[in-house]
Structure formats: structure tokens, C-alpha cells
Amino acid sequence: MDEGFKSYIYSQIMALSRSFINIWVHLVWTVKKREPLLHKSFRTQLCKHIHENARQQDIHIDTINGIEDHLHCLVSMKSTQMVSQIAKTIKGESSKWINDVNLVQGIFEWQEGYGAFSVSPTHLKKVRNYIRNQEKHHLKQNFEEEMFEIQQMIENE
């Protein structure tokens, strides 16, 4: 967690002048038809773009990464934000950007849906590492197995 964000949280707790919200969500979304279009050659650039645009939209992305057919994102939400709007904003702007800068042949689209999983503050480090190590993780497991594993972890908490 960056120092500015830590400072913000501390100031809100100390002042208690506003509501204090500590809601973390792990978002996952896929390329339409799960096509492997997010090539390694530009995936880092895409993640940086999504992170920066989200910041400009007042969305705090803590960690973002993925592989060829999907992305994972850890988001700290504010009291005025909705998961659906965050996902719509991130996916809509990033697909437009991918098309505007011609990162793929043809028209790029994200799959319509997304996964959203609540994250306990005590599990943030584990989720960050999980997101950062997507390529390594997917050497052992496909997307369906991954989603099943995430669901099992949540159910077993």
C-alpha cells in the first residue's frame, strides 16, 4: 500500500469526520470469447494505462495483472462507489484505448460479465501476490480451475 493511501486512511480514522470504509474487491474479467489477445508485449503497458486512468476516475487500483485472456485487479472502494460501475469504467475505457491505439487486429472487446470477490484486509498480501504471479500460476491451472479455486477459498474462510 503506498504511503499516501496509508496517510489518507490514518487521517480518516483519526478525524472520524466522515465514514471510514475499508472495502477491498478482487475483480476478474476476460477477453470476449476468452481469446488470447493480451500479448505479453503490451500487457504491462495496458495494466499501467488501466491503473492511471482508474486513478483519474477516482478508482484506487492497488494491484493489476493478468495473462493472455483475462485480467485481475485488486481495488479499494470508496463509500460512493459500486462494483458494477468500477468494472464498467475500467473495462469500457480500456477496450476503447486498446482499439484507439490498435494493440490488436480487428475490434477488441471484453466479455460482458466479470467476477468480483470481497477481500478481507488480512488477506491483502496473499491476493496481491496471487495477482502479481498470474503467469506462473497459469502454468499449472486454466481459467476455469482458477475461478473454482477462488470460489473455494472464499467459501472456506
Instruction: Write out pLDDT tens, residues 110-128.
Output: 999 999 999 999 999 999 9
C-alpha cell belonging to residue 16: 472520524
> Does residue 148 lie within any of the structural domains?
yes
> Does residue 18 lie within any of the structural domains?
no
Residue type at position 156: N
In this predicted structure, the answer to whether residue 1 has a pLDDT above a threshold of 60 is no
> Does residue 62 lie within any of the structural domains?
yes
> Does residue 147 lie within any of the structural domains?
yes
pLDDT of residue 85: 98
d(CA 112, CA 132): 24
> Does residue 100 lie within any of the structural domains?
yes
> Does residue 3 lie within any of the structural domains?
no
Rg over alpha carbons for the chain, rounded to the nearest Å, is 16
- Per-residue pLDDT of 30-58, as tens digits, reads 999 999 999 999 999 999 999 999 999 99
Mean pLDDT within 55-67: 97
Q: What is the DSSP letter of 105?
A: S
pLDDT of residue 147: 63
- Where residue 102 falls (left for φ over 0; alpha for ψ -120 to 50; beta otherwise) is left
